[in-house]
A and B are shown apart, each in its own frame.
Chain A
Amino acid sequence: MLDEERQVRFTQLWTEAQPAVSAYVRAIVRDSHVSKDIVQNTAIVLLRKFVEWDSQREFLPWAMGFAKFEVLAHRRDVARNRLLFDEALLEAITESWPTAVSELSLEQSALHDCLETLPPKARKIVRLRYFEELKMKQVAEQVGSSAGAARIALMRIRRQLLDCVNRRLQAAAGEA
């Protein structure tokens, strides 16, 4: 069992790492309920294994390793995931995730501003897909289009947001 000091330390590290781990799990398993269970299991395993953590190592990559095992356990039950992510691919994504999160962290605040610039219909599509978590077929029904058209619209919205983010980051870099 962890002493009080180590429990506090674990809580601090996990609080910091959890958003990146949760995003990784969500990105792979594609289901928010299942993701929550996996992240919770990961937290339990991490807590048990925390005595083995070498404080000279970064916590996030260490935690991601355990998250990967939990994802692998889930992957056995999901045919599509099994088709797409073999163990080597999952390993490679797990390793590269902390770096990608760090590299793209500047984009997050610009993204908030760019969301405000979307036209009403595009905002609706984004809200239905990412907030209401509807499937694309349901999104299409809600906006009165075909599923194919909704998918293309969402692709364009992502591109539009990325362009907007890049413009804002370049402008900010120019001002600096």
Chain B
Amino acid sequence: MSRTDELIAGYLDDSLTDQQAVELQQWLHSDPANLKRFTTAMVRDEQLRAAVASTESLSAAERYHAVQTKTQERTLRKHSILKLTVATSLVIVIAWFGMFRPHNGSLTFAETDGLVSLRDDSATVHRLNPGETFASGSLIVEGDGTQAKFSYSDGSVLWLSGGTELTLTGGQGKTLRLQAGMLRADVPPQPVDRPLTIRTSNAQATAFGTSFALIAAKQETRLVVNEGAVNFQRLSDAQTLTVNANEQVCVGQDDTEPVRAESTPNVSATWNVKSKAEGNATLVGQWNDQENLVATPESVFLAVTGTNEIHYRAGTRNCYPGLVTLNENSVVRIRYRLEKPVNLGLFISTHLPSWEFSGNFRVYIETPKLPADNDGWRTATVPIRSLIPMKEIPFQPGCVVSTLFATSFASDVGLEIAEFEVRVAASQHD
């Protein structure tokens, strides 16, 4: 094996030292043929990644099929025994329901107010309809404030938030991989040998009967337990701990500190977009040179028409711990300008501290009715009580905002925001 082979392999294995990185760079610069060789190795490596992903998904489906076939064969045999003797059948029925009932790893899509797709083993993506059951593939949920509900035959229920991707990795047990996003689960008592297991890029949660939420963000995994307890393991060093009700734990990509469970934190009652993307927050839009937030286009699924549209939005998302806690006197204040005076939409998605979804809210700001200053800036202050519930869930004081943005909808009118905040008004006239 040549030194060059070692360096290329080191790159592909993510194990290059700084010195080796410099050495590889010099080698790449020394001859265009070297660069071609390196590019070829990278393309082949990504082809291998794609092939393995496809093969592993297929294996999961095959394992599931094998289990189902065996289950059917066992059922037929038991029917024959039933014909022979009632007593024997009783024993079998007791055994079947009490001990040997096969665990069904299939997930059924129950409902959503957004768009849910399934990427199957052949990498074909199709839209899911309520009632569809599947045992492999990757689920993708789209849309702000969207919740998609899924259930297992044992009564376990999963809610996936918009922006979540979840892969079913096992045919028999409930083994899932949360690629990104947030999952909330209510899990009845599980067989000890086949608990619900969810893995992310750097952690694994095992639930034997509990209510919890798991968030896979860019570089970290966070588990928040509402009821019962969940076993949590950091994959990098296999450190394991039990996280109890009202506790949370978080592990990062390169953490070396001991894993510790902590009390679930409170979320502040004030928020300002100028605090930018703190923690898990993701900016919607982009900052310009004047430190103003400018709207960027996002593809939006419109449930009413069943179509996608490009909308222009600016704001922030933060599924954990959330942006701000709302109370009766909360107000949203926004200072903005537009190239044309179109109406502005404000959108808020909320959840309770227990992570239960607590509704989406919106309000239209009538731009032409607001005076603009010489530079075109307008200011609107909106009491939280004036926002309109979008899902017939009334406002609940104490809920936490996970998404907040302003939108000019499909109008590309250069929405620019100088100030955007949520605070508690001192009085009703504030």
Q: A residues near B, CB below 8 A?
A: 1-2, 7, 19, 23-24, 26-28, 30, 32-34, 36-37, 44, 47-48, 79-80, 83-86, 88-89, 92-93, 96-97, 100-101, 103-104, 107-108, 111-112, 115-116, 126-127, 129-138, 141, 147, 151, 154-155, 158, 161-162
Contacts of A161 in B (CB 8 A): 48
Instruction: Give Cα A32 to B163, complex, Å.
Output: 15
By the criterion CB–CB under 8 Å, are A80 and B43 in contact?
no
B43 to chain A: closest CB distance in Å?
Answer: 5
* B42 interfacial by beta-carbon distance below 8 Å: yes
B46 surroundings in chain A (CB, below 8 A): 23-24, 26-27
Within B7-46, which residues are at the interface with A (CB < 8 Å)? Answer: 9-16, 18, 21-22, 24-25, 28-29, 32, 35-36, 38-40, 42-46
In the bound complex, residues from chain A placing their C-beta under 8 Å from that of B235 are 134, 138
B14 touches A30 (CB 8 A): yes
Which residues of the other chain, A, contact B54 by a CB distance below 8 angstroms?
A: 112
Q: What would be 14 A-B contacts, judged by CB atoms less than 8 Å apart? A: A1-B310, A24-B46, A27-B42, A27-B43, A27-B45, A32-B201, A33-B219, A92-B32, A96-B36, A100-B40, A100-B43, A115-B51, A130-B48, A162-B44
**A111: which B residues are within 8 A, CB to CB?**
47-48, 51
Assess whether B297 is in contact with A44, with CB atoms less than 8 Å apart.
yes
| Inter-subunit contact A136/B13 (CB<8 Å) | yes
Instruction: Give chain B residues whose Cβ lies under 8 Å from the Cβ of A30.
Output: 14
When the two chains form their complex, are residues A130 and B47 in contact, meaning their CB atoms are under 8 A apart? no
Known: A33-B180, A33-B201, A112-B51. A80 touches B218 (CB 8 A): no
Given A36-B180, A83-B18, also A23-B52 (CB < 8 A): no
Select from chain B the residue with minimum beta-carbon distance to A27: B42
Nearest Cβ in chain A — how far from B19, in angstroms? Answer: 9
Q: Are A84 and B21 in contact (CB under 8 A)?
A: yes
Residues of chain A within 8 A (CB-CB) of B22 are: 83-84
Question: Of all chain A residues, which has the CB nearest B42?
Answer: A27
User: CB distance A151 to B35 under 8 Å?
Assistant: no
Do A115 and B238 touch across chains, with their CB atoms under 8 A apart? no
A33 to B177, CA, bound (A): 13
A47 touches B44 (CB 8 A): no
A33-B218, A80-B16 known; A108 vs B47 contact (CB < 8 Å): yes
Question: B410 at the A/B interface (Cβ < 8 Å)?
Answer: yes
Among B24, B32, B48, B201, contact of A158 (Cβ-Cβ < 8 Å): B48
Known contacts being A127-B56, A131-B53, A138-B235, is A84 close to B48, with CB within 8 Å? Answer: no
**Quick check: is B154 within 8 A (CB to CB) of the other chain?**
no
Q: Could you say which residues of chain A place their CB within 8 Å of the CB of B201?
A: 32-33, 133
Is there contact, CB below 8 Å, between B35 and A93? yes
* Chain A residues positioned under 8 Å from B51 (CB to CB): 108, 111-112, 115
- Pick the contact of B1 from A23, A33, A115, A155 — CB < 8 Å? A155
Q: What CA separation (Å) do A173 and B425 show in the bound complex?
A: 76
Chain A proximity of B294: nearest CB distance (Å): 12
Is B25 a contact of A138 with CB atoms below 8 Å? no
Chain A residue contacts of B217, Cβ below 8 A: 33
User: What residues of A have a CB within 8 angstroms of the CB of B16 in the complex?
Assistant: 80, 84
In the complex, whether B266 has a CB less than 8 A from a CB of chain A is no
Closest to B219 in A: A33
